[in-house]
Amino acid sequence: MSIGNSPDGNFPEDERPFEDDRDERSAERPSIGRALQQARIDAGLTVDDVSNATRVRIAIVHAIEQDDFAACGGDVYARGHIRTLARAVRIDPAPLLEQFADAHGGRPAPTPAAPLFEAERIRPERRGPNWTAAMVAAIVAVIGFVGFTAFNGGDEDGDSTQVAEGSTPTTSKPGSPTPKNDKPDVDPKPEPSDSAIAAAPRDKVTVQVSAADGRSWISAKDHNGQLLWDGLLKQGQTKTFQDSSKIDLVLGDAGAIQLYVNGKKIEDDFQPGQVERLTYTKGDPEVG
């Protein structure tokens, strides 16, 4: 009685080769993608977490978890992705690499580099315009302009005889001495008398602005809307504006200002800190 193989070369039922057992084990073993996905879930990680940790794109992570290795750019890069993802989800990559080799005919020969894997690691991030630096530069420019305007307005002479006349500005030579026998000096105090501008011409409107109780931002325009003056009037300073028909004023702090229009004092009770927009014409002072 023969214990070994039968004479016809057939194996007994209980001595078949192990291929069937290996096929059964392969069927029971989860796929590479399923194993990586389950390990990621067990580790409490999301696909975004794995992508951020490995620098492998989210689309490639999803594809590998679905056992789609075409997006890897070749077997060499697929093996690299499998090893990287396995370490990220804290499992041994060796069984997965062996399983990949069994399914794809062992370790493949090197293939030309594809841009999907390495380029993903070294591609510099495209940066947009640096809006923060642009905003800071714009703010600094605005602050510098406001400061320049304020200092220029504050350095002007507060002489009450200075007149800003719309449409027909007068010119004078800077630094020219005033003759001693000219008109008497005007009182430089912030409260000029009615006689100081009583001689204002009747065919024009004359407005005198004095900073009596503090300082105030002042803006003055003529009847054409042309800016006569815009700046900070410091305490003790006076400005006089003249036009053929109308003067428009904006007072930033009306409570600090005294007004004389066509030689007459304006008795309106302006409150400190109050912004006033006023319009004066020829004849009796009228607030527009």
Q: What is the CATH number of the domain that holds 95?
A: 1.10.260.40
Same domain, yes or no: 92 and 202: no
Q: State yes or no: pLDDT of 43 exceeds 50.
A: yes
99, 211: one domain: no
Q: Same structural domain for residues 193 and 87?
A: no
Name the average pLDDT for the chain.
75
Task: Please say if the pLDDT value at position 172 is more than 60.
Answer: no
Kindly state the average pLDDT of the residues 108-133.
Answer: 58
> Has residue 112 been placed in a domain?
yes
pLDDT of residue 198: 52
Closest alpha carbon to 258 in 200, 201, 194: 194
Q: How many CA atoms lie within 13 A of 18 on its CB side?
A: 3
Residues 38 and 106 placed together within one structural domain of the fold: yes
- 140-149 per-residue burial string, b: 16 or more CB within 10 A, e: under 16: eeeeeeeeee
What predicted TM-score, i.e. pTM, was given to this entire model? 0.34
- If asked whether residues 163 and 116 sit together in one domain, one would say no
- Bridge partners for 247 per DSSP: 280
Res 148: pLDDT? 80
| Residues 117, 25 share a domain | yes
Average pLDDT over residues 246-253: 89
Domain containing 163 equals 158-169+187-281
Q: Is 145 contained in some domain? A: no
